[in-house]
A and B are shown apart, each in its own frame.
Chain A
Amino acid sequence: MSQLFTDSIVVPVANQADATTTAAALEPYDIGEITVMYVVEKGDGVPDKTPVEQSEQIATESFAAFREAFPTAETETIYRRDVVTAISEVAREIDASAIVFHPRGGSRFRQFLTGDRSLRLITEAERPVIALPNEVSEA
């Protein structure tokens, strides 16, 4: 039996605004189960750049924002050093049919500084990756 790309998707979000934008971009489509996820970036042996408590707060805000559009979405907070592998990991765990994300753009310089996560996600993921269109302007 064939599986739809959108049977059960994982949606990574980075903050409240990103969650709202992503949810808005996702809204027109017919989707099965949604798991919205947030990665708390860990230092892995050094103090984190952001206090964990603050990251968790952002996760909660982001989930709430996302659930305004998709009240039934599942949520997942994961603590990893590397955002991209964390996304793949969650996708594997819930056996997602696809990873759906909203590229956040940013200048070349900024992408260079942070490492281009969009590119890494596309090339490293073991599952289909769907990028949402950027037309919906930042709310």
Chain B
Amino acid sequence: MTESDEELAKDLGLLSVLTIGVGTMIGAGIFVLPGEAAAAAGPAVALSFILGGVISLFTALSASELGTAMPKAGGSYYYVNHALGPLFGSVAGWGNWMGLAFASAFYTLGFGEYLATFLPIPALMLGPIGLSEFQVGALLAAIAFIAVNYIGAKETGSIQIVIVTLLIGILSVFSVLGLFQTDISTLRPFFPAETGGAAAIFPATGLVFVSFLGFAKITTVAEELKNPGRNLPLAVVGSVVIVTVMYGIIMVVLMGVINWQQLGPSFTTTPVLDVGEIAFGTIGIAGVGVGLLTFAGLLATASSANASILASSRINFAMGRDKLISDTLNAIHPTFATPYRSIAVTGAIILVFIVAGDVQTLAKAGSVLHLIVYGLLNVALIVMREADVEGYQPDFRVPLYPVVPVVGAFSSFGLIAFMKPIEIALSLVFVAGGLVWYLLYARDVAEKKGILSQYILDRSETMPPAAVSAASTVQPDGGTFRVMVPLANPQTEKDLITLASAIAKQRGGTVDAVHIVPTPDQTPLEYAADHVDDLEADHRTILDAAERDAETFGVDVETHTIYSHRPFEGIFDAAESHQAALVVLGWEADTNSFSDRVEGTFDELTDELPCDFVVLKDRGFDPDEILVPTAGGPDSDLSAEIAKLLQSEYDSDVTLLHVTDSETEGVTFLEDWAATHDLTDATLQVESGDIETAIERAANDSTMMIIGATERGLLSRLVRGSLVLDVVDDVDCSVLLAERPQTKSLSERLFKR
């Protein structure tokens, strides 16, 4: 990818994203909810909107920091999954997805209400289900929005900007005209006793919170933003501030013009139109005003619904990428190039919600699910900061840490308490569903682990035991056996991949082919990534070949490219971050492409191998006759395991060799050793005399030798060429050198990375 294309991939400017945020939010608060909201708290509902805005602001700040640090498709879901692991990730993913579906149903129902003001839509009986004219309108609208997204009709950025500008324009004129008609006495009592006085503000906030669900959608498209470090926080926070101010003013206008009791759902479904008639009536254009507002209401609810459907497909994509849902859901349509299945499924759910729910229930269920996600998002921010994750470098940091995320988390979770039990229960069904989903489905396939559990497990000594055991029980178990193969030389690629695939196949694991591109120190790594073809002419070919070769074994294969100034460090880091269980490395004594520069820090590194290492001295891959010389010890345990795996795959003849002067002792040792390593069908061979000559002699009859590294750090000296291991050079067959890390305790090896 050239630099200019990188720029083009990011084509959303500040105004575009700001309009996404404002456009999504404004539809609900002003055009759908005021009636219900007025009935809930009277004129004081203006304060509910402002409170909702303040709560959103905390989460918006946290979302901005996370978004600039991780501009990834999926937004809130991605951060929660990344920081708190796939268990919470499942909850956040499902919560966010269903929350968006509820919200979309709510928006389209609002659309239906406006449609019904001028279109004679009939109410329908569908079997036992009666549908109001609003629901019929909503269903028609929803089907239209789903179809638009399914086919992927492209509106242009300018249309989006025009729509939102138009909306804000119409609402501003409305507010100004309305303010002249506002009578302070109509606003009294500000806290009517009928709704429960000032205390009614909180439950009403729960109701109107659905009007603030747009800001987090900006983060779902963060990867498309120009200059995200600046534009993301500005757009997220800015859109919350803009809509909060507008909501506050317009609520005062609405309830200052018409008494709140006459705005409620029992009198009208479209209070804005009623007030608009009076406001625009003062300048003699009541009809035009109502027409404009109806138009605005349709536009606003449509753009909210549309944005929500789009955002839900992003969340599906991100969940599929983390294997929390099946990736088949995210298949791209061959002609329309849209994630059509995801859109169709979300669409079907929305239709069900429209039929089943009323405006209030949909709004609140959508809010509760989003509040759960927002609460988790704030917790995710705290975890990212506390765990001090390498590579976590947000361009924007929340002010007053930790106050902002703590208040954000508490206020988000706290607001849930003001919902009705039935609405909470409905949402908890989806949360529980997310948990069950993770435990029954996703846990076996998910690979990614959260920062939180790593943080806890890395500090198992200092953390409370309950936390450690909890963190380890919910770890994903999928992809536990990853065989990483660093590739540099096309000549040895095939044999290395064959060996790795055979092992991975036997262990039900995956192969991770990593192309190491050694980069001169003078060249920045980013530059190298952009100019990979200049550095390595055969760049893709080697990975493509690896992919093909591994696929002949039917094992899953992943490919990665790593640019590193110090290739060996690169391998170690990759083994660690890719959570490899085994690294299969090629060793070419004379043409070793990894060892041609001095790597000072390497000695320290090899003291702590991140996982098992097998180094192949390749003289042709032929596992017919495998020789395993052993004197016991952990490294020869690894040799035995590899031998066993190759035996199962290739039906090899395995010979175990022990060199000792006492024949009987030797046989006993080998018998024991073979039994412990499940290699009882191997030929046992005891030799006496010089160890190296004995091994060389035995190797004459073999096609492959697997030998444990007998000294610590052997591997490092071997690859750097400072150690001449006569045996390896003197035999004619391929040699596998196995080294197993010793410093780590069993529990660390099991749980850490």
Q: Which residues of A contact B (CB under 8 A)?
A: 14-15, 17-18, 40-55, 58, 63-64, 67-68, 71, 75, 77-81, 104, 106, 110, 113-114
Q: Which residues of B contact A (CB under 8 A)?
A: 1, 5, 8-9, 11-13, 16, 20, 72-73, 149, 151-152, 154-161, 220-221, 223-224, 307, 310, 313-314, 317-318, 321, 330, 332, 334-339, 540-541, 544, 547-548
Asked, given contacts A63-B540, A79-B5, whether A44 binds B310 with beta carbons under 8 Å apart, the answer is no
Q: Which residues of the other chain, A, contact B1 by a CB distance below 8 angstroms?
A: 77
A39 nearest CB across to chain B (Å): 9
Taken together as a complex, chains A and B put the C-alpha atoms of A104 and B221 apart, in Å, by: 30
Asked, given contacts A45-B13, A64-B547, A67-B544, whether A51 binds B223 with beta carbons under 8 Å apart, the answer is yes
Nearest to A49 among chain B residues (CB) is B152
A50 touches B332 (CB 8 A): yes
B334 touches A54 (CB 8 A): no
A53 touches B156 (CB 8 A): no
Which of A53, A78, A106 meets B73, CB within 8 Å?
A: A53
Q: Which residues of the other chain, A, contact B220 by a CB distance below 8 angstroms?
A: 47
Taken together as a complex, chains A and B put the C-alpha atoms of A31 and B681 apart, in Å, by: 56
Nearest to A54 among chain B residues (CB) is B317
B8 touches A17 (CB 8 A): no
Asked, given contacts A52-B73, A114-B335, whether A42 binds B11 with beta carbons under 8 Å apart, the answer is yes
Q: Which residues of the other chain, A, contact B5 by a CB distance below 8 angstroms?
A: 77-79
Taken together as a complex, chains A and B put the C-alpha atoms of A129 and B223 apart, in Å, by: 35
Asked, given contacts A47-B310, A51-B223, whether A15 binds B332 with beta carbons under 8 Å apart, the answer is yes
Nearest to A65 among chain B residues (CB) is B544
Q: Which residues of the other chain, B, contact A45 by a CB distance below 8 angstroms?
A: 11-13, 16, 156-158, 160-161
Nearest to A82 among chain B residues (CB) is B154
B332 touches A46 (CB 8 A): no
A104 touches B157 (CB 8 A): no
Taken together as a complex, chains A and B put the C-alpha atoms of A106 and B11 apart, in Å, by: 30
Q: Which residues of the other chain, B, contact A113 by a CB distance below 8 angstroms?
A: 151, 336
A46 touches B160 (CB 8 A): yes
Q: Please give 11 more A-B residue pairs, beta carbons under 8 A apart, in addition to A17-B334, A49-B339, A104-B335.
A: A41-B154, A43-B12, A45-B157, A46-B16, A48-B221, A48-B224, A50-B338, A54-B339, A67-B544, A81-B154, A106-B335
Could you pull out 12 A-B pairs where Cβ atoms are within 8 angstroms? A45-B13, A45-B16, A46-B155, A47-B12, A47-B314, A48-B224, A49-B337, A52-B223, A53-B72, A63-B540, A68-B544, A68-B548
A14 nearest CB across to chain B (Å): 7
Asked, given contacts A64-B547, A79-B9, A114-B151, whether A47 binds B221 with beta carbons under 8 Å apart, the answer is yes
B156 touches A14 (CB 8 A): no
Which residue among B5, B151, B332 has the maximum number of chain A CB atoms within 10 Å of its CB?
Answer: B332
B154 touches A43 (CB 8 A): yes
A41 nearest CB across to chain B (Å): 6
B149 touches A44 (CB 8 A): no
Q: Which residues of the other chain, A, contact B338 by a CB distance below 8 angstroms?
A: 49-50
Taken together as a complex, chains A and B put the C-alpha atoms of A42 and B547 apart, in Å, by: 29
A49 touches B154 (CB 8 A): yes
Asked, given contacts A79-B9, A114-B335, whether A54 binds B310 with beta carbons under 8 Å apart, the answer is no
Which residue among B13, B152, B313 has the maximum number of chain A CB atoms within 10 Å of its CB?
Answer: B152
A52 touches B9 (CB 8 A): yes
A104 touches B73 (CB 8 A): no
Nearest to B16 among chain A residues (CB) is A45
Taken together as a complex, chains A and B put the C-alpha atoms of A103 and B425 apart, in Å, by: 53
Taken together as a complex, chains A and B put the C-alpha atoms of A44 and B310 apart, in Å, by: 15
Q: Which residues of the other chain, B, contact A55 by a CB distance below 8 angstroms?
A: 332, 337
Taken together as a complex, chains A and B put the C-alpha atoms of A46 and B544 apart, in Å, by: 35
Q: Which residues of the other chain, B, contact A42 by a CB distance below 8 angstroms?
A: 8-9, 11
B317 touches A51 (CB 8 A): yes
Which of B8, B73, B544 meets A54, CB within 8 Å?
A: B73
A82 nearest CB across to chain B (Å): 9
A2 nearest CB across to chain B (Å): 30
Which residue among A45, A46, A71 has the maximum number of chain B CB atoms within 10 Å of its CB?
Answer: A46
Q: Across the A-B interface, give the 4 residue pairs with the lowest CB-CB distance, nearest first.
A: A45-B157, A79-B8, A51-B73, A49-B152
B59 nearest CB across to chain A (Å): 21
Taken together as a complex, chains A and B put the C-alpha atoms of A34 and B159 apart, in Å, by: 38
Taken together as a complex, chains A and B put the C-alpha atoms of A71 and B339 apart, in Å, by: 29
Q: Which residues of the other chain, B, contact A14 by a CB distance below 8 angstroms?
A: 334, 337
B154 touches A80 (CB 8 A): no
Q: Which residues of the other chain, B, contact A77 by a CB distance below 8 angstroms?
A: 1, 5
Q: Which residues of the other chain, B, contact A63 by a CB distance below 8 angstroms?
A: 540
Q: Which residues of the other chain, A, contact B72 by a CB distance below 8 angstroms?
A: 53
A36 nearest CB across to chain B (Å): 11
Which of B158, B224, B335, B547 meets A47, CB within 8 Å?
A: B224
Nearest to A86 among chain B residues (CB) is B8
A15 touches B334 (CB 8 A): yes
Asked, given contacts A53-B73, A67-B544, whether A46 binds B157 with beta carbons under 8 Å apart, the answer is yes
